[in-house]
Structure 1
Amino acid sequence: MSLCRANMVVLIGTVFVAASADAGSATMIRFRRTAHVTGSVVRLGDVADIHDADVVTEERLKAIVLAPAPAPGRQTILEFVSIRSRLHARGVDLAATEFSGASAVRVFRRFEPPQEPSRTSDIQAERAAQRLRAVIENELRLAGAAADELSVTVRLSRSDVPRALAADSASLKVIGLTLQPDVPQTLTLSFRDAQGTRQQVRFVCRLSRRPTVLTVRYTVPRGHVLRAADLAPLAVDDAAGGIVRPEDVV
């Protein structure tokens, strides 16, 4: 391929491989004009933005290897036709996939930075999870839910952790949250990046009802005989060793 041709990166229109595909359930893959990688291979998630109703499917698509990466400091061109062929070979249902974006992606490979200890990555992942939980708990309060009675757990892809941590705090918004407990929910975190561009990442959330124990509503004098009216439920993370029935103390 000549350098002249390589520089001609044009946008392709949205491609519907099957007209009968349901747009609401289709996987959407939008190719970027350029991409940067640091590893030895180029994956689909490196060159395209992927959206699917099933977060597991989305992560699987991101991990598909398309080609070897160029040497550090060099570049290569991946054509849409070759990418599509690779996806077909990996069993991707092209009839249920909506393609858009660039017809060719110029891939650059940076020099690989030193690997950080896994402990640092774990800390970053937990910080991102805490940030998501705080946003969700605030959304629950705005919805009138008793946020203190619910436990929030989240699962975010490691590849999205840096984006979640770098997001503008004031712009964080969770889309798709329901109050249904004990059911995994695939949600969208919407935010603005450092350049002010609106971005989105997908993650999984689960709401669970926290256990409750009984506590005294107010200070009682010594020798006071407790009554049921003196007790109030308190949501806790662990009810082990706590009193949960009024008859145990009244």
Structure 2
Amino acid sequence: LSPDGRRFLFLSRVDEESETPEEKVEDVMWITKLRYRMDGTGYYPYTRSHLFTVSAEGGEPGQLTRGPYDVSSADWSPDGGEIAHVANMEDGDYTRIRDIFIIPSKGGSPRKLTDGRTMIRSVAWSPDGELLAYTGRIPVDPEHPMYGSTDIWVMPPGGGEARNLTSAFDRTVGAYGSSVFWGDNGQIYFRAPRHGAYNLYMVSVDKGAVEPVIEGKRTLASFSLCADSSRIAFAATDATWPQEVWVHDA
């Protein structure tokens, strides 16, 4: 939801039929991507994931991003003027590198922010709009990009040096696709594994110190902060109990 509550931002898959051969046999599947299927999923459709906005009152959605690439995460700027998003615009079918781009919320050309070295998963704007936080991994070996730990980084939305906040943290940050959330006190909240479970932690943007928030022998699957960051709602489960929703004082 936009900061003024008037528009929704969402991802939707767009038909990629134009990228398939013009003349084709109907009962034959054409493979035009390197990653064309996955166990448990089957063949990928000829679609790409792109950003859209739509009025909260309804109406026709407007498409913001276009092209032979996929958008995987996005967040409004606090003033509603821009949208930061994660995408694989360059050689998306041949690399796991993802970058952050910023686009005007009313449409326009995306501006690349990061340097093309990091497997970025999610992005979140700070409440004052001065920083972007993102989770990402710089591959230890380009030929084996899955090796290495995911960290939390911050950088100005206008560009500049990215700063790793969790370089001293002794484990990887988050699970695949999981997001980070800003508190109103200069803290960033995130999930991380510990002894076979997933717990909740926070890191100070100024000091880079990581502190536990919610620990225990359970897996915290997702969480959200209330507007003033005083309470946390989270879903959690363990080996003998189904997933339930809990509330915790921050």
TM-score over 0.5 for the pair: no
Range into which the TM-score falls when normalised by the shorter chain: under 0.3
TM-score by length of 1: 0.25
More helix as a share of residues: 1
- TM-score of the pair, normalised by structure 2: 0.25
Greater relative CO (CA pairs within 8 A, separation 6+): 1
